[in-house]
Structures are given as structure tokens and as C-alpha cells.
Amino acid sequence: MSKSILITGGAGFIGSHVVKLFVEKYPHYKIVNLDALTYAGNLENLKEVQHEPNYFFEKVDIQDSDALEEVFDRHGISDVIHLAAESHVDRSISDPLAFVKTNVFGTVNLLNAAKKAWEGELGLHLFYHVSTDEVYGSLHDGGFFLETTPYDPQSPYSASKAASDHFVRAYANTYKMKTVVSNCSNNYGPNHFPEKLIPLCINNIKNLKPLPVYGKGENVRDWLFVKDHARAIDTVFHQGKPGETYNIGGFNEWKNIDIVRLLCKKMDEKLGREKGTSEKLITFVQDRAGHDHRYAIDATKIQKELGWEPSLQFEEGIDLTIDWYLANQDWLDHVTSGSYQEYYKELYEGR
Ligand code: NAD
Ligand code: DAU
């Protein structure tokens, strides 16, 4: 096999789409999915590829340096695509240290394991770090995040991601490790854990439960279909220039309240409910602490230099997403049982 790629966080939302794309598109690559299977990791996301001969799974925490070294050794890892992270801003507000442990300490552990495994031939291997637009901070109503925008993280989550980005670039500068970083906007699509706005609303609309909109719902996010992010990661992995950063986004800004209304309208139609039924569920609740006002990615560089473009219009992607959740009640039942109920109560009750 020509490459042996370690994809971390491959049982999560975006990681599972990246793993599926690579396993199916590159049968001559060995794909090793390394994931600790936290509350956000779910092997059901990978059922389409679990029996493929080029797919391997390792249940390992990136905080465990011995286990990482062993995986690099046993699988002869040639390249890394690093997605494993604690990813939810609200959880980072209640438990910042969990984010330091995985996102900062875990990333440095992984860099060290790669550096050790590739000693003497660092220039031959790629360490690709997947990051977020949130490291750039919060925009007012104008302007975009460019690759050159100074970092200004505002939440414990984005601070931990910013720190991990800095470490990756520091390893490139100090040890001449071949690295690339991409910073993407908000993703949506199948397999998105229902703690995040879009899947949470789809699940609640389905169950006629309140739709908690933080503050006035005026905050703006820039949404990209998850499979388009996975395609962008494929493009950056194969064509990105070492040492470079690529912003990924769909030039697709929406106010939260408008997204929630769109979901209500579409789901009333799909579920055969009377027009306006779901909108009555909208409930404005206490705002997120330190809530970033707006994110907006300028994705010109990846479009011009690497030829990547989103393949889907937002409404098409939202239709596909709602249809997936309606067809996958088992998946939703599994991920919303147990600890999800406690999490939901703690975050939303009395808010
Ligand atoms: P997710 O929370 O759905 O999945 C994270 C995965 O990482 C899970 O499978 C989990 O089990 C695993 N994981 C967590 N801690 C781990 C540890 N210590 N060791 C090993 N595995 C661990 O996250 P996601 O939304 O798929 O995001 C993936 C990556 O993309 C993250 O790095 C995130 O910062 C970045 N990102 C996400 C978005 C988005 O909109 N979701 C946008 C831009 C960038
Ligand atoms: O921009 C990329 C980032 O997008 C990723 O790095 C993160 O991992 C990912 O979680 C996402 O962060 P956000 O905080 O933007 O996503 P979330 O779905 O949590 O929230 C989207 C917006 O909706 C945000 O303005 C907060 C608001 N919101 C969220 C929830 C969960 C609500 O109004 N109500 C809610 O119940």
C-alpha cells in the first residue's frame, strides 16, 4: 500500500466522513482510524467501510503517548490527518481543562509521536492539522477571516484550538516537520451530534420539544456541508503546499434564527404538519457566555490555488440532512440515550 494514513477522530462527525471518503476513493491507501470513542465518537458512523480491507480502527486516546508510538510503529504510519478534539463550545465553557487535555496536550503528544516515528525523514511525511475558523475570533457585521487574520480566540474551545495550531506551526519551524493547517467554518450534515444547533433543532422539531435559541438569534455562522469539507481535506492533503494554511468555507452566512425558521418550515412540510406548527417551538433562552457574534470565511485561496469549491447549495444540503435524520431514528436514539439526557438537562433546564 502506497501510504498508511493515521486519521484521528475518525469516529466523530467530520472525521467519519473523511475516513469514508479516503477508504472508498483510495483503496491502495491503508487508513487507520484512531479514536478514543468519547461521547462524540460512534463506530456506527463508519458501518459502510468497517469491513473494507484497507480500513483499520484503533481505540486510543491521543493523551496516551505510549499507545500512539505503538500505533505509528505497528501500522508504519506515513502521514497524519488530525481531527480528534473536544469540539463543543458550550462544553468548553463548563469544563475548559478537558479541552486543554485533548486539544493542546493531545495534539503535542501526537506531534511528538510523529516526530519520533519519522526521525531523519521528517520532510517525507505530512502532518495535516484540521482546525476551525473560531481561532480568528468574532467579526462585526463586515469583513471576512483571511489566512493572515491574527488569531484572537474568545472561548476556551477556540483558545485550545488556537494553541494546537501554534504548536503545529512551531514544530514545522523548529524541527522542519512537513505540516499543513486548514481552518474551516461551521459544518452540517449527517452524523452531526445533536448537541450542535442544526441537529439539535431537527431532533427537537421531530419530538415537538422547545427550540432553544441563544440571545436574540442574531449571531451569524457560515455553513458548509460536511462532505464538502471532507473533499476539501482530500484536496489540501494531496495538493496543499507544506507550511501553508487554507481557509475552508462556503460563503454561506446565516443568522441562527433564520436557520431555525428554515428547519421549521422544511420539517413541517416533510412531516405533513400544519404550516407554522414547529415555529411555535422557538424559545429564546439565556445567551451563551462570551458568544461570538459572527464568523465568515474568505475561501478564495483554496478555490484559486487548489481548485476546490463547495458542491452543494445550502438548501439542498439541508434537505439531505433532514432526510438523513428522519431515516436514521436508530442512530438518533442511540446517541441521545444515557449521558445526553443529563447533559441536556444541565445546559438547558432553567436557562
Ligand atoms: P466531534 O466532536 O464530532 O468528533 C471528535 C472525535 O474525536 C470523536 O470521535 C471523539 O471520540 C474523538 N476524540 C475526542 N477526544 C479524543 C482523544 N483524547 N483521543 C482520541 N480521540 C478523541 O468533532 P467534529 O465536529 O467532527 O470536529 C472534528 C475536528 O474538526 C475538530 O478538530 C474540530 O475542531 C474541527 N472543526 C469542526 C467544525 C465543525 O463545524 N464541527 C468546523 C471546523 C473545524
Ligand atoms: O465555526 C466552526 C465551529 O462551529 C467548530 O469549530 C465547532 O467545533 C462547532 O461546534 C461549531 O461551533 P458553534 O459554536 O458555532 O456551533 P453550535 O452548533 O454550537 O452553535 C451554532 C450557533 O447556534 C451559535 O451561534 C450558538 C447557537 N446555538 C447553539 C445551540 C447548541 C443556539 O442558539 N442554541 C443552541 O441550543
pLDDT at 269 over 90: yes
Backbone angles phi, psi at 8, to 5 degrees: -90, 150
Distance 186 CA to ligand 1 centre (A): 12
Q: Tell me the three cell numbers of residue 292.
A: 461570538
DSSP state letter for 251: S
> Which pLDDT score is estimated for 338?
85
Report which ligand 2 atom has the smallest distance to the Cα of 90: 19
Query: The whole model's pTM is what?
Result: 0.99
Distance 88 CA to ligand 1 centre (A): 9
Spell 66-76 as b/e; 16+ CB within 10 A means b.
Answer: ebbbebbeebe
What are the contacts of 331-337 at 24+ separation with CB within 8 A? 331/42, 331/44, 331/191, 332/194, 332/203, 334/42, 334/44, 335/42, 335/193, 335/194, 336/194, 336/203
DSSP state letter for 20: H
**Chain segment 328-338, per-residue pLDDT in tens:** 999 999 999 88
**Chain segment 230-261, per-residue pLDDT in tens:** 999 999 999 999 999 999 999 999 999 999 99
The rounded distance, in Å, linking the Cα atoms of 342 and 80 is 35
Query: Would you say the CB of residue 107 lies under 6 angstroms from ligand 1?
Result: no
The CATH superfamily assigned to 3-189+224-252+290-313+340-349 is NAD(P)-binding Rossmann-like Domain (3.40.50.720)
Question: Given pLDDT bands bounded at 50, 70 and 90, which one contains residue 1?
Answer: low
Q: Which of 7, 13, 18 to mutate to test the pocket of ligand 1 (most atoms within 8 A of CB)?
A: 13
Taking the domains of the chain in order of start, what are their residue ranges? 3-189+224-252+290-313+340-349
Distance 285 CA to ligand 1 centre (A): 26
List the catalytic residues: 133-134, 157
Query: Would you say the CB of residue 204 lies under 6 angstroms from ligand 2?
Result: no
Query: Would you say the CB of residue 89 lies under 6 angstroms from ligand 2?
Result: yes
> Rounded to 10 degrees, what is the CA torsion of 343, 345, 348, 351?
-130
Are 205 and 276 in contact by the 8 Å Cβ rule? The answer is no
